[in-house]
A and B are shown apart, each in its own frame.
Chain A
Amino acid sequence: MKATSKLHKTEQQLLREAQRKRRFETVIHGIFLVLGLVTVGCVLMITVYLIIAGIPAIREIGLVDFLFGKVWASTNQDAKFGILPFILTSVYGTAGAILIGVPVGFFTAVYLAKEAPPKLRGIVEEAVNLLAGIPSVVYGLVGMLILVPGIRNIFHVPDGSSLLAAIIVLAIMILPSIIKVSITGLEAVPKEYEDASLALGATPTETWFKVSVPAAKSGIAAAVVLGVGRAIGEAMAVMMVSGNVANMPHLFESVRFLTTAVASEMSYAGAGLQRQALFSIALVLFLFIMLINATLNFFLKRSKER
């Protein structure tokens, strides 16, 4: 009975079935569209929340006083909210980490991408991946127990918790990103370039540094920018080794970064201006990150175009 009815469907029935099927597909399509848009929604939510929460304190304090004020004394009777020390510390700290981390990462990347035998390369790449996988608090812990006392003893300063300790920890933490992205850039260099250079009589080493590296410069620039982003956004490891006092940056003094400024006061900031000011700091940090992301995308795109 059923079989015959299936065979003898009227035109109308067929039409209805097709319609139902189409509607079903539309619903599924809609569901996936929504899932796809969740990502965009999250970015919008984060942006909107930071702006809404960050603007009031900046208005009350005044943009110039907030960004360029040299004193942060949020708990004083006569509270002062100047975040220049945090901004400068973040900038100096990141610059320092880049200064140490980029050369080491760059030369390691050239070695791994060009010179290392495949087996050794596999092992070292695993090691680099592990470096990326170690939680930041572990870096902080090791830094607290090795770097901080080490700096105190070597440089004879009263407290080793300092900008220098943070710079060293950050330099180590950005190594994996720099190495991995540089390798990707170096591997994208067409083999013909290198062959041509070798055929002209350059040694392999000269070829790598005078042909491959310049050809991969967008990729390497992307690696550096990614490192900058990682360094400026790191909170926990830095919090554990930098001492966390709102000084103007000095290599051997306790300092506070943008990230740690947010993290360290959030736990006891009540309502009111102090708390709102923390959101404003986060907004400043967010703007820095957006700027860095835009730069990163620029370099990544250029390196892809090649």
Chain B
Amino acid sequence: MQTKTFSKERKRYIGLMKTLMAVSAVLTCALVAFLIIYVMYKGLPNLSWELLTTEPSYLADKIGIYPDILNTIYIVLATLVVVLPLGVGAAIYLTEYAQNKKLVAVIEYAAETLSGIPSIIYGLVGMMFFCEFLGMGTCLKAGSLTLVIMNLPTILRTTQESLKTVPQSYREGAFGLGAGKWRVIRTVVFPGCVDGIITGCILAVGRILGETAALLYTAGFAHDAYNLIDGLGESGATLTVALYVYAKEQGEFEVAFAIASILMMLALLINLSATLVGKYYKKRREV
């Protein structure tokens, strides 16, 4: 090989860089593998049907995460129902309507700012605004609305990205046939951004499932099971909040790890579906 003619110094540099790259990449992968295996190893044995389907009770000395599962589902649903129209609408405004470049820059800057704000600040402002100022009290509704603000930039960005891939000629064709702006958006533009909306939903669900700090003081800690309508008006812990409470405040590590293993599986599932959806739409677009 040519390498033989390289100076010692050059060889050392190349060797060092190659080693650093290999070590770092292996370290990253090992970390992920370790986290998955450790959480599953500690959590799965504690995961039982009973745990998933009982309500906790101090009196009966029972621990169960059934209410937490329900609360998580409610919060995810409530957040998506509100954030989707807001985020998709904002994206459509930015790509289809807005003509004022300054306004577009302001809205995009606002979205970027929102995505950089830490969740604890969302929690605090959510508590002040939804729970206190609007008088909702600590409840799932207030928690969902806080998460709506948090996830707005995610939905906005993914929808915007996919809107940009709708060819301009489609719009022009529809306009040429005499369709009004709204009709063009409804029939041509909107179907084109479905993949962005789905991707946005998946990312948002992932973020909601993992969120704790923003929910602690907006949605609260209660572990009672309600139906969807009543539940939204009541305080309730999601899975992540429950994990925190069980681990940090009650020292129930078995339950905490059981929840952690559920969250881990959900994270795997969400990543997998995001990848699959991305691949599916990419293929369809190329055809």
- Chain A contacts to B: CB under 8 angstroms: 21, 24-25, 28-29, 31-33, 35-40, 42-43, 45-46, 49-50, 53, 103-108, 110-112, 115-116, 124, 126-131, 133-138, 140-142, 144-146, 172, 175, 179, 203, 205-206, 208-209, 229, 232-236, 239-240, 259, 262-263, 266-267, 278-279, 282, 285-286, 289-290, 292-293, 296-297
Q: A239 CA to B89 CA in the complex, in Å?
A: 37
B118 and A131 contacting across the interface, CB-CB below 8 Å? no
Taking a contact as CB atoms under 8 Å apart, the answer to whether A21 and B180 are in contact is: yes
Q: How far is the CB of B17 from chain A (nearest CB, A)?
A: 5
- The docked-state distance in angstroms from the alpha carbon of A146 to that of B24 is 21
| Residue pair B181, A290 in contact (C-beta under 8 Å) | no
Contact A292 B210, CB 8 Å, known A36-B107, A39-B107, A43-B110: no
Contact B244 A137 (CB under 8 A): yes
Residues of A close to B73: CB separation below 8 A: none
Minimal Cβ-Cβ distance residue in B for A286:
B121
Give 23 CB contacts A-B under 8 Å. Answer: A21-B180, A25-B180, A28-B181, A31-B89, A39-B107, A39-B114, A45-B125, A49-B129, A107-B20, A124-B29, A127-B32, A130-B268, A131-B31, A134-B210, A134-B264, A135-B243, A136-B210, A141-B243, A179-B28, A206-B10, A229-B116, A233-B117, A263-B120
> Which of A111, A126, A279, A285 has the most chain B CB atoms inside 10 A of its CB?
A111
Q: Judge whether B212 is part of the interface by a CB distance below 8 angstroms.
A: yes
What 6 pairs across the A-B complex have the smallest Cβ distances?
A233-B118, A35-B89, A135-B210, A36-B93, A107-B24, A32-B93
| C-alpha spacing A129/B182, complex, angstroms | 37
Indicate if the CB atoms of B29 and A259 lie closer than 8 Å: no
Q: Which of B59-67, B164-172, B224-232, B255-263 contacts A (4 or more CB under 8 A)?
A: B255-263
Q: In the bound complex, do residue A124 and residue B128 qualify as a contact, i.e. CB atoms below 8 Å apart? A: no
> Which residue of chain B is the closest to A226 with respect to CB atoms?
B116
Write out, one digit per residue, whether chain B residues 73-89 have a CB within 8 A of any chain A CB (1) or not (0): 00000000000011001
Q: Is the CB of B28 within 8 A of A296?
A: no
Whether, in the assembled complex, B198 has its beta carbon less than 8 Å from a beta carbon of chain A, the answer is no
Alpha-carbon distance A42/B145, docked complex (angstroms): 11
Most interface-central of A42, A137, A142, A262 (chain B CB within 10 A): A137
Q: Using known A-B contacts A137-B244, A205-B18, A206-B10, determine if residue A262 contacts B120 with beta carbons closer than 8 Å.
A: yes
Picked from A46, A107, A290, the residue with its CB within 8 Å of the CB of B23 is: A107
Contact A203 B14 (CB under 8 A): yes
Q: How many residues of B contact A (CB 8 A)?
A: 88
B47 vs chain A, min Cβ distance (A): 15
Chain A neighbourhood of B116, CB < 8 A: 229, 233, 289, 292-293, 296
Asked whether A108 lies within 8 Å of B32 as measured between CB atoms, the reply is: no
State the main secondary structure of chain A at its contact with B.
helix
Chain A hits for B32, CB < 8 A:
127-128, 130-131
The reply on B112 being an interface residue by CB < 8 A is yes
Checking A49, A133, A144, A232 against B270 with a beta-carbon cut-off of 8 angstroms, the contacting residue is: A133
Interface centre among B14, B123, B129, B244 (most CB of A within 10 A): B244
Closest Cβ neighbor of B113 among chain A residues: A43
B92 at the interface (CB under 8 A from A): yes
Q: Does B147 contact A (CB under 8 A)?
A: no
B38 at the interface (CB under 8 A from A): yes
Are A205 and B14 closer than 8 Å at their CB atoms? yes
Q: What 6 additional pairs, Cβ within 8 angstroms, besides A124-B29, A289-B118?
A: A36-B90, A39-B152, A110-B21, A130-B268, A205-B14, A239-B248
* B212 partner residues in chain A, CB cutoff 8 A: 135-137, 235-236
User: Does A233 contact B119, Cβ atoms closer than 8 Å?
Assistant: yes
Instruction: Tell me if B247 and A53 are in contact (CB < 8 A).
Output: no
Cβ–Cβ < 8 Å partners of B264 in chain A: 134, 138
Cβ of B177 within 8 Å of any chain A Cβ, yes or no, is no
Report chain A residues within 8 Å CB of B106. 40
